[in-house]
DNA sequence: TGTACATCAGTGAACGCGCGTTCACTGATGTAC
DNA sequence: TGTACATCAGTGAACGCGCGTTCACTGATGTAC
């Protein structure tokens, strides 16, 4: 999945695996701690996460993380922020693959949302699991979260501008789109919906489910 | 919200408030513990929940809960189960209010789902927040959860049978409906969407959002 | 190139704490006769 | 109605534990001259 850029830099020539010459100084501890935290969540569940165990997994004394994160929650906030950035990247890529077709772009961004959640379920859990008391206390996180949602809203606006979505309030349409892919991602990532080997893959489910909503958008309100 | 049946029984005539004659035996400790747990979650967040604090709030020694729940997780499982039962009741009521109109029934059940989540956000968190390691280890919980989803699927099937939904796979339609209301409930309950005083109330958002999906269902696939 | 010094990133002992669970117990309640 | 006894629902001390955070420290790194 993701590579620890600086971790590779440190050693320079030493190909891989065998511990690079890192001695007292780690080189990329901040990043290593974030990855260790994700590994612990994968193993023990998000609510069992402890700073000391994270440090252990990173091979470092349990107080070292205070050089990089002022508290346990700020480590979680950093991971959540990373998640929103990755999500934004995924949505952006989907949008750019369909610049000529705003409706396809909207659907693709929804599918990207679901795929992100399935691929990074632990990020999703930290982003939305109520582990961070208040986003307001972590401005960078709040900004990243707002940015991701803004991409989605902009996709809705473009489809409206192009005349592909009729009638409905943009806020409601955006919320409907968000709720749908968010719910689907949560259900799949949370194991409530099987999408394992042999079962319909997440991408297929996301495609079909978003298609249904899209049809509703296309045709506009029928007048009650 | 909910009344503790047996707690009232215990005292008999003593109207209310002033501690009924409960001495050594509590009378309805199981129920009282569940409510105390919900209160602690409301105060401190779900991940801070501790059996000892729950017992403190219930006014009982911290080991008393072992007479009613074999472990901390089983207390959580009981609350989650209660949540699914309440959710099922809410959905059933919505369905029965529209027996003559399967499509209205389907939408009403979705709205009921969102309203349940908004009204009982802490139940929702316990039901879906990954606090319970495996539903399989709590059969009654699993059954309650499956029952709620089954009600929703049955509503979809009835709309299909009545010819109101064309073409689409029932599994996909059910999943789309579930994902949408589940996502909306999560977003509102998690504070990602404001629906507080002055803002559009949850019921309105749920109605509009489900209407969009409904329109997609009504018109069926347009043939790609 | 060498030296002095400031800064940075990690260490390890120690703090105080609350936790989940076990155990042997005791007071209260229900039931058989 | 009264008594003996089993069962049930709480108690409180004790267990062993890992946690987040602080502190004074030390080794490593970078920089000015």
The pLDDT tens digits of the residues spanning B111-123 come to 999 999 999 999 9
How far, rounded to the nearest angstrom, does the alpha carbon of residue B224 sit from its chain's CA centroid? 37
- For residue B155, is pLDDT > 80? yes
pLDDT at site A163: 87
Nearest CA in chain A to B186: A183
Covered bases, chain D (protein CB within 7 Å): 9-13, 18-24, 27-29
Tell me: pLDDT of B33 over 60: yes
Rounded to whole angstroms, the Cα distance separating A40 from A54 reads: 7
Of B90, B73, B186, B193, nearest to B136 (Cα)?
A: B73
Q: Which of B175, B209, B219 sits opposite A172 (nearest CB)?
A: B209
The CA-to-CA distance between both ends of chain A, in Å, stands at 49
Q: Cα-flanking dihedrals φ and ψ of residue B60, to 5°? A: -145, 155
Q: Write down the pLDDT at residue A26.
A: 85
Residue A73, both tokens: 């929650």
Whole-number Å distance between alpha carbons of B156 and B152:
6
Q: Which residue has the tokens 């010459």?
A: A21
Which chain C nucleotides are covered by protein, judged by CB under 7 A?
Answer: 9-13, 18-24, 27-29
Q: Buried (b) or exposed (e) across A10-48, using 16+ Cβ within 10 A?
A: eeeeeeeeeebeeeeebbbbebbbbbbbbebbeeeebbe
Interface of B with A (CB under 8 A): 45-47, 125, 128-131, 133, 168-169, 172-173, 175-176, 178-184, 186-187, 190, 192-193, 205, 208-209, 211-222
- Residue of B76, B114, B124, B130 for testing the chain A interface, max A β-carbons within 10 Å: B130
With 80 as the cut, is the pLDDT of residue B199 above it?
A: no
Range A151-171 average pLDDT:
89
Structure tokens at A52: 């000391």
B44 φ, ψ (degrees, to nearest 5): -110, -5
A10 with A20: CB under 8 angstroms?
yes
Alpha-carbon span B177 to A49, nearest angstrom: 33
CA at A9, C1' at C1: how many angstroms apart?
Answer: 28
Measure CA A60 to chain center: 27
Per-chain mean pLDDT for chain A: 87
- Three-state SS letters, A54-95: HHHHHCCCCCHHHHCCCCHHHHHHHHHHHHHHHHHHHHHHHH
pLDDT in tens, B58-116: 999 999 999 999 999 999 999 999 999 999 999 999 999 999 999 999 999 999 999 99
Contact between A187 and A137 under an 8 Å Cβ cutoff? The reply is: no
Nearest CA in chain A to B184: A179
Alpha-carbon dihedral sign for residues A212, A213, A217, A223: positive
Q: For the residues A55-80, what does the mean pLDDT come to?
A: 97
CA nearest A130: which of B57, B71, B129? B129
Structure tokens at B175: 């999943």
Assign A47 a pLDDT band (cuts: 50, 70, 90): confident
pTM attached to this predicted model: 0.88
How many Cβ contacts (< 8 angstroms) between chains A and B?
133
pLDDT at B6: 36
Asked whether residue A25, judged by its CB, lies under 7 Å from any atom of the DNA or RNA strand D, the reply is yes
Tell which residue, B123, B30, B42, has the closest CA to residue B70: B30
Asked if the Cβ of residue B29 lies within 7 A of any atom of strand D, the reply is yes
pLDDT value of residue B188: 95
Residue B154, pLDDT above cutoff 70 = yes
* Rounded CA separation A216/A120 (Å): 29
| First-to-final CA distance of chain B | 48
For a pLDDT cut of 90, what percent of chain A falls above it? 72
d(CA A12, CA A29): 17
């Amino acid at each position: 999945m993701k590579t620890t850029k600086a971790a590779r830099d440190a050693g320079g020539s030493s190909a891989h695996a065998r511990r690079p010459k890192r001695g007292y100084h780690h080189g990329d501890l901040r990043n290593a701690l974030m990855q260790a935290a994700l590994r612990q969540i994968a193993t023990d569940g998000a609510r069992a996460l402890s700073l000391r165990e994270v440090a252990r997994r990173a091979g470092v004394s349990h107080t070292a993380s205070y050089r990089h994160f002022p508290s346990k929650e700020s480590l979680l906030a950093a991971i959540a922020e990373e998640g929103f950035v990755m999500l934004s990247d995924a949505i952006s890529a989907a949008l750019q693959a369909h610049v000529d077709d705003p409706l396809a772009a909207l659907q693709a961004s929804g599918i990207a949302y679901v795929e992100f959640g399935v691929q990074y379920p632990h990020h999703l859990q930290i982003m939305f699991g109520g582990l961070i008391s208040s986003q307001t206390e972590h401005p960078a996180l709040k900004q990243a979260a707002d940015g991701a949602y803004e991409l989605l809203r902009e996709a809705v606006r473009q489809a409206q501008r192009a005349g592909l979505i009729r009638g409905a309030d943009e806020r409601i349409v955006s919320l409907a789109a968000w709720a749908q892919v968010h719910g689907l991602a949560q259900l799949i990532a949370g194991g409530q919906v099987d999408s394992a080997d042999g079962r319909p893959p997440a991408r297929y489910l996301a495609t079909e489910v978003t298609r249904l909503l899209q049809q509703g958008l296309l045709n506009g309100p029928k007048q009650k």
